[in-house]
């Protein structure tokens, strides 16, 4: 009886196991055809595929397209929607599917990123122009997610701190680059979209850039951290947005809150808790778009702090709220300090098709007016991460020489 019971139990369990396997296979078959997406072809065009029997329309929205442009996908008899892009230049791109008017991720592509509240898939077109930010077989630095106290904002906040390969075991002190993101971004932007850590890994390994610490802050003074890890609801009074009923002082306070915090809270924290060289010859600051405005405010109102300054895709602008900052802070500070500043590098980068192009040229005129020495890099394209990665890769080898 005992032997029979064991056999019965075994057969029962085996039968249940086989049923699960068959059920799983059946579910897999019911999911429709197995598709590959995205598929990069030898000529660097990209084919996108999505299985959906019920969709009425599917389109692709990609970062290589013009504003508002989409690529229509065609439905096959098997329910698979397909579209192929034109040939793309080597770079990193992001995209979404638009299924019956709703943005969705590509379910076949595990590579995804977040830009503020927007999520998208990513793909990298291989080639010489994208090699500098690829993951290579070189020594890698570390990304530290650091929570710190910010008395000037009365918040506990988070920043990302890149430490170069070998930092943990080294007795050496390192120079520091403070790297600021743009509007809509947060402390995650320069690693997830800008791939700053891989750019530094590769440049350091090739001997093109000095080993350095890179501090990537959250430039939104009303946030404790990125939207995925808020520890407190943002204070609207610290927003950089002008608002319909906000006074000029309120706008000024909102825009200058983070620059003040970086000087009063972030730099002292880094110089206390990390192995850094704490002098202006070993400090650099750079930022893109909104972060470039913050960079200018910090560097020009504290000219003794940084010998290296990088301005990516923003200049001197006269549209609110930037016009308020330009007229009340930047122009007076440039006129006061440019004649005596002795920066080793002042770097300006902008795309030919960038909507901020005119303001960047206004900044250049101000620098030229004071015979101030600077480096200018003009690239194709507009207000894009493709350009900002390029500027970072060109800027960092010039630092701490």
Domain extent for 94: 39-126
**Which two tokens mark 371?**
């015979």
**Long-range contacts: 291-297, Cβ < 8 Å, 24+?**
291/179, 291/180, 291/181, 291/182, 291/185, 291/219, 292/180, 292/182, 293/255, 293/322, 293/325, 294/180, 294/219, 294/258, 294/259, 294/262, 295/180, 296/330, 297/255, 297/256, 297/259, 297/325, 297/329, 297/330
Tell me the pLDDT tens digit for each residue of 167-194.
999 999 999 999 999 998 999 999 999 9
Tell me, yes or no, whether 236 and 374 share the same domain.
yes
pLDDT value of residue 230: 73
pLDDT value of residue 22: 43
The answer to whether residue 21 is domain-embedded is no
CA atoms of 222 and 259, how far apart (whole Å): 13
Of 100, 126, 152, which one is at a domain's C-terminal end? 126
Q: What is the CATH number of the domain that holds 317?
A: 3.40.50.1820
The answer to whether residue 95 is domain-embedded is yes
Domain count, the chain: 2
Tell me, yes or no, whether 71 and 166 share the same domain.
no
Low-confidence ranges of the chain (pLDDT < 70): 1-31, 232, 234-245
Q: How many CA atoms lie within 13 A of 325 on its CB side?
A: 29
Tell me, yes or no, whether 95 and 109 share the same domain.
yes
The answer to whether residue 15 is domain-embedded is no
Tell me, yes or no, whether 160 and 284 share the same domain.
yes
pLDDT value of residue 236: 61
The answer to whether residue 34 is domain-embedded is no
Tell me, yes or no, whether 179 and 318 share the same domain.
yes
Tell me, yes or no, whether 192 and 298 share the same domain.
yes
What distances in angstroms separate CA 168 from CA 125, 139, 162, 280, one per listed residue? Answer: 34, 13, 12, 24
Is-contact 85 45, C-beta < 8 A? yes
Beta strands in 262-340 (DSSP E): 283-288, 308-312
The answer to whether residue 12 is domain-embedded is no
pLDDT value of residue 5: 55
**Which two tokens mark 120?**
């998208």
Of 72, 99, 126, which one is at a domain's C-terminal end? 126
Tell me, yes or no, whether 180 and 296 share the same domain.
yes
Tell me, yes or no, whether 204 and 298 share the same domain.
yes
Beta strands in 28-140 (DSSP E): 39-40, 46-51, 58-62, 71-72, 74-75, 80-84, 91-99, 102-104, 112-115, 118-125
CA atoms of 234 and 90, how far apart (whole Å): 38
Q: What is the CATH number of the domain that holds 93?
A: 2.60.40.10
Of 77, 111, 126, which one is at a domain's C-terminal end? 126
Tell me, yes or no, whether 99 and 161 share the same domain.
no
pLDDT value of residue 239: 60
Tell me, yes or no, whether 155 and 272 share the same domain.
yes
The answer to whether residue 291 is domain-embedded is yes
The answer to whether residue 229 is domain-embedded is yes
Q: What are the two backbone dihedrals, phi and then psi, of residue 209, each rounded to the nearest 5 degrees?
A: -130, 150
Q: What is the pTM assigned to this prediction?
A: 0.86
The answer to whether residue 25 is domain-embedded is no
């Amino acid at each position: 009886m005992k032997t029979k019971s064991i056999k019965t139990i075994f057969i029962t369990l085996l039968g249940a196991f086989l049923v699960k396997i068959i059920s799983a296979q059946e579910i897999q078959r019911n999911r429709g055809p197995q598709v590959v997406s995205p598929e990069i072809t030898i000529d660097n065009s990209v084919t996108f595929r999505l299985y959906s029997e019920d969709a009425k329309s599917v389109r692709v929205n990609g970062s290589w397209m013009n504003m508002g442009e989409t690529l229509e996908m065609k439905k096959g008899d098997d329910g698979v929607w397909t579209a192929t892009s034109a040939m793309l230049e080597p770079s990193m791109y992001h995209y979404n599917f638009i299924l019956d008017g709703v943005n969705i991720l590509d379910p076949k592509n595990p590579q995804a990123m977040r830009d503020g509240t927007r999520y998208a898939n990513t793909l990298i077109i291989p080639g010489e122009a994208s090699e500098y930010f690829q993951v290579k077989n070189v020594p890698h630095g570390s990304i530290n997610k650091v929570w710190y106290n910010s008395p000037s904002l009365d918040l506990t906040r988070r920043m990302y701190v890149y430490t170069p390969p070998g930092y943990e075991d080294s007795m050496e002190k390192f120079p520091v680059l403070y790297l600021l993101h743009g509007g809509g971004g947060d402390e995650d932007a320069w690693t997830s979209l800008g791939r700053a850590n891989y750019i530094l890994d590769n440049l350091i390994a090739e001997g093109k850039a000095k080993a350095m610490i890179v501090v990537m802050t959250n430039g939104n003074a009303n946030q404790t951290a990125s939207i995925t890890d808020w520890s407190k609801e943002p204070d609207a009074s610290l927003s950089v947005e002008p608002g319909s009923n906000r006074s000029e002082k309120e706008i000024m306070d909102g825009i200058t809150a983070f620059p003040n915090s970086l000087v009063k809270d972030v730099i002292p924290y880094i110089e206390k808790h990390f192995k850094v060289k704490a002098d202006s010859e070993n400090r650099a600051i750079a930022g893109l778009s909104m972060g470039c405005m913050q960079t200018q405010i910090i560097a020009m109102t504290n000219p003794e702090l940084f010998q290296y300054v990088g301005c990516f895709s923003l200049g001197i602008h006269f549209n609110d709220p930037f016009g308020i900052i330009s007229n009340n802070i930047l122009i007076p500070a440039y006129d006061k300090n440019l004649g005596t500043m002795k920066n080793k590098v002042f770097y300006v980068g902008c795309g030919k098709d960038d909507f901020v192009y005119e303001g960047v040229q206004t900044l250049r005129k101000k620098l030229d007016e004071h015979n101030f020495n600077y480096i200018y890099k003009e690239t194709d394209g507009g207000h894009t991460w493709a350009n900002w990665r390029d500027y970072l890769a060109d800027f960092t080898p010039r630092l701490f020489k």
